[in-house]
Structure 1
């Protein structure tokens, strides 16, 4: 697998990914453009591609299903605390 391929995303992942998408959108408003683009733009584009693929209604429903575990994991990811 090359670095440009995505792993298979199971529908069970949608809630966490939709929440991540929301959080990345929020970060965009508080980070300088160059920082946001160099760090998060590629990931945001992948999430938007997935959102477009599954459809906005399913994506919104998935975001509403995000639970405390999803929110904690996304928070840790964004803080860099899940990096090896």
Structure 2
């Protein structure tokens, strides 16, 4: 995902993830519209995301450790702006 094609929340998430985790590949999709009428939905969008990220930083780490790294990188956005984040985090060579 190219940061110039995203909204401000997604662009900031990508910036933080790139800085903290140095991914080999990253794809962040705004799924907010699929959650219209559900809890946490924000009419301006950028409240629900799906993340696929691959990074050497995840090698030797379990799923929970990887998610903690991601949440630490995203920081306060998870508390203030992002309601839900679906994560698929892998190390190079993993499926």
Relative contact order, CA 8 A, sep 6+: which one is greater?
1
TM above 0.5, one fold? no
TM-score normalised over the length of structure 2: 0.27
Greater fraction of residues in strand: 2
TM-score normalised over the length of structure 1: 0.29
